[in-house]
Chains A and B, each alone.
Chain A
């Protein structure tokens, strides 16, 4: 059913009887043209764009848990394109443009809110660095505004501007950035893909990718073997585990990242604010909870739960810029597994095995990339050519030296 204000009003008079489930629970077919491993945001977006842009409908998404149960359901919902490296900016800007039209395209309310993303700077040298980043963005046609202290004060007056150790000197603002409702993004893509004939197979775990004579033939799953001409691995934190079954070794390590939500308070934070002297980001959800997070727990993990030093570090950073929230109660916090690449940037590429494609290395910035990630992987799987905005996101860049290291920290994934 098409969602609109008219459908809501008419259903109000019909006792809400005509609403239907928005996706099916199909039985797996024996064979598909294409199979996507991973029913998170990126996997569902890939299926959606394969169907919409390239006309493939005999495809399936397999998900070991329920739909959207991984990182798409457990992130801090930030959407932005304020990157610095030439290989990244066009890709993330493409993503932000897709975000801007996503709700109309999907006919689904993803609660996209372009409330602005503000990166604070705390020293003169950091101001220069942020000016450089803003200039890099503008050279790619992406607007950035370098705000001074008073301009920042107009937007977020409640910050601790005169903090003795980390005084706030100003910030780099991307007004087009913001937040979106994370679950709704997964549901919207799932609905769009399902309505075009894509089979979404939940509770179907990929066990083994079958390769014969250098060509992928299908995937052994917990519900039997499914034959497929092309397979895309979009398995986020578990990428290396499934890629290993096809004999692939990847420049990826998995780490846990924690995120936090406070009790709901009245509207306080109008945009996304990040702390420049550490690594901390905070916004306020439409329900009123403060949503925030910081760095990774710095050791490899598949446990999807963090440790207390990470909690302490996050709270300390919050206090450094916003002591006003010190008595707000923490409602819940959780951990997710991040596929950290060796340069901190993603990989969307072929693998050297015919018909096997990979989409991974999202580190902890995957949510904002959801539409473009699906868009570019769909383009790659359909045409065997990288999409023009994703040509730098190659798997072999680690061999050729064309790494895209935004943070400049080298091949140490826990530092990105």
Chain B
């Protein structure tokens, strides 16, 4: 599996480490249902079969966090971008 890193170009997946689902937001610890929200944040995942957006770290490369669009049914990778808008800006 090759992952197109927006900075380094297509690289072997072994250079990357996998974190998982994007879009998880750390809840407000002062919210009345903070305990439930934190449970969901730490433990509950979509585990989608099909197209997903995931966080990967190019650990043995440019060390950027990137968002990879990948199909979990076929392992096909259809896109990637820097996870942080700041990195995106700096790379331009």
Q: Is B84 an interface residue (CB 8 A)?
A: no
Assembled-state Cα–Cα distance A307/B74 (Å): 12
Closest to A403 in B: B43
In the complex, chain A residues whose CB is within 8 Å of the CB of B52: 300
> In whole angstroms, what is the CA distance A238 to B54 when docked?
19
Interface contact B43-A253, CB-CB below 8 Å = no
- Nearest chain A CB to B25 CB, angstrom units: 16
Residues of B contacting A240 in the complex (Cβ-Cβ under 8 angstroms): 47
Contact partner of B49 (CB less than 8 A), chosen from A241, A411, A414, is A241
**Which size class do A's interface residues fall under?**
20 to 34
- Within the complex, which residue of A300, A307, A399 is in contact with B47, where a contact is CB–CB below 8 Å? A300
Are A251 and B44 interface neighbours, CB within 8 A? yes
A57 at the interface (CB under 8 A from B): no
Interface residues on B, range: 20 to 34
Contact of B43 with A298 in the complex, beta carbons under 8 Å:
no
B-chain residues with CB within 8 Å of residue A309 when the two chains form the complex: 12-14
CA distance A250 to B47 in the complex (A): 9
Q: Is the CB of A300 within 8 A of B39?
A: no
Q: Are A253 and B47 in contact (CB under 8 A)?
A: yes
B20 touches A398 (CB 8 A): no
* Residue contact A414 to B18, C-beta cutoff 8 Å: yes
Contact with B along A393-416 (1 / 0, CB 8 A): 000001100000000000110100
A6 at the interface (CB under 8 A from B): no
Q: How far is the CA of A309 from the CA of B14 in the complex (A)?
A: 7
Binary contact track A80-99/B, C-beta < 8 Å → 1, others 0: 00000000000000000000
Instruction: Pull 24 A–B residue pairs with CB atoms less than 8 Å apart, ordered by A.
Output: A249-B40, A249-B46, A251-B45, A252-B47, A253-B47, A254-B49, A298-B18, A299-B13, A299-B70, A300-B20, A302-B49, A303-B72, A303-B73, A303-B75, A309-B12, A309-B13, A309-B14, A398-B39, A398-B42, A399-B36, A399-B39, A411-B42, A412-B20, A414-B20
Chain B residues with CB under 8 Å of chain A are 1, 12-14, 17-18, 20, 35-36, 39-40, 42-47, 49, 52, 54, 70, 72-75
